[in-house]
Structure 1
Amino acid sequence: MTGRPVPAVLPPSPRAWLGLIAVLAALAVVVLGVLYAGHSQSGTVDRWFVQPTADSVRPPWRRVALAIDFLGEPAGAATLVVIAATGCLLLRCPRAAVFVVAGAGAAVGTATLLKSLVGRTIHGDGNLSYPSGHTAFVTALALVVALLAAGRFGLGRTAGTLLVLAAALVAGAAMGWAQVALGAHYPTDVLGGWCTALVVIPAIGWLVDRVGGPLAERRADAGRRERR
């Protein structure tokens, strides 16, 4: 209860760029969803990269792909979220912890909803594939952590934006490679999952700041009154 302002989880430095990127990402999600709605096989763009199969990667890279894939599974994802949220709480940043949980949950929830709406499947066994929930989750968590780091260290617009985009690109590329290599998703599913995170996280960050800001101000006011 020091009365000091609580840092925003969506720092001002990369905010404008993230808004523009979110709009473009939303357009990509919609276009890909319309193009592949109801499909059950790879498209032309997918075949530019690879023809997904269950054994498209061999040891030792298969073990690497499985390890990365685990991070998007319920147990692995829950572990990552708990670690990130606990770190925020240890740093006395409860709003950041809320951002971690809400951002990751919203990304997975949005990807799950889009899967039902688009209805694209893989391997002909009813497995909904677009967009990739694993890719959406890992990208979302990387975005959240990068945004919090950019705000905490006071990075400028260029440095902050580069950090956020680099984190999203590395995380999304790693999980995307694993999903395609293991035959769990088409390349366009991965792109859709990556773009889903780019849409969801800025919106959740704005919402957390919008709701958390007034709450933090009320707590600070109460603390000042108690000290009088």
Structure 2
Amino acid sequence: MAVDDIDRTRVSVRRPALAPAARRPVAALALLGLVALVVPALVFAGDTGPSRLDLRVEKAVVENAPGGSYDVIRGIDWLGEPVGRALLLVAVTLACWLAGRRALAAAAVVSMILVTGLATAIKPFVDRRIHAGFLSYPSGHTAALTAAALIVGILLADVLGLGPIAGTAVMLGVTVAGAAVTSWAQIILDAHYPTDTVGGLGLALVVVPVTALLTDAVLRRTGGRRA
């Protein structure tokens, strides 16, 4: 390996998961996510049916769904299934790695695995149910795809060298788009109540920033020797 290649590798390893300009906005997203996760969990714990808000949102979404969109909806839903999540994880991690953001790639792997595990672990504690007693809060599909979208948003803001305002706008835009599309699919399929998807969004907003911040803390302690 040439000296220049070694230097580039060292730089990519030492590059933090979060650019300095993204740290405060991402920390703020984590606080927002905590509220979005905890408040509905407390309000709807033990419920076995939709709230009035859920019914209104469901009606609006179903009535305004474009014709011929079923295949698209099923495709989005598939991305939240185990195989789809695995492929999504590989795609997002590879994008970070190829862009030279290896710490972010490591954070992507850990956070997307954590999101899946935590969504499953939280459900019995909230004990909200849909259909024939299936645990529904938070939506794991929404959490997984929102986590992937947020990581992509962080990557784009870093690669484009955006400042705090523009970077936050990009991160929010990509994340909200990912969450909205996934929530829409889950509502149309009647797989989750709309407020379940809010919990999934909140979970992703907590896990991804915290994982990225912890990854950077480890990098600082180890002097960047490992991504």
Quick check: TM above 0.5? yes
Secondary structure (helix, strand or coil) at the match of 1:217 reads coil
Shift of residue 93 of structure 1? 3.6
2:32 corresponding residue in structure 1: 24
Alignment of 1:182 with 2:189, yes or no, is yes
Q: Aligned letter for 1:157?
A: P
**1:37, 1:19 → 2: CA distance?**
27
1:83 corresponding residue in structure 2: 91
**1:67 pairs with one of 61, 67, 75:** 75
Alignment of 1:206 with 2:213, yes or no, is yes
**1:92, 1:18 → 2: CA distance?**
20
Alignment of 1:106 with 2:75, yes or no, is no
Q: Aligned letter for 1:68?
A: I
**1:58, 1:154 → 2: CA distance?**
37
Q: Aligned letter for 1:8?
A: P
Which 5+ residue runs of structure 1 have no aligned equivalent? Answer: 220-228
Shift of residue 23 of structure 1? 1.5
Shift of residue 218 of structure 1? 4.1
Question: CA offsets, 1:19-43, max 9 Å, x none?
Answer: 2232232123111101111111001
Q: Provide the TM-score with structure 2 as the length reference.
A: 0.86
**2:74, 2:196 → 1: CA distance?**
18
Q: Provide the TM-score with structure 1 as the length reference.
A: 0.86
Q: Aligned letter for 2:189?
A: L
Secondary structure (helix, strand or coil) at the match of 1:180 reads helix
**1:133 pairs with one of 140, 151, 172:** 140
**1:50, 1:92 → 2: CA distance?**
42
Alignment of 1:173 with 2:180, yes or no, is yes
Q: Aligned letter for 1:141?
A: A
Which 5+ residue runs of structure 2 have no aligned equivalent? Answer: 1-5
Q: Aligned letter for 2:97?
A: L
Aligned residues: 216
Name the % identity: 38
Shift of residue 206 of structure 1? 0.3
Kept in 1: contact 2:29–2:209 (CA 8 A): no
Q: Aligned letter for 2:79?
A: L
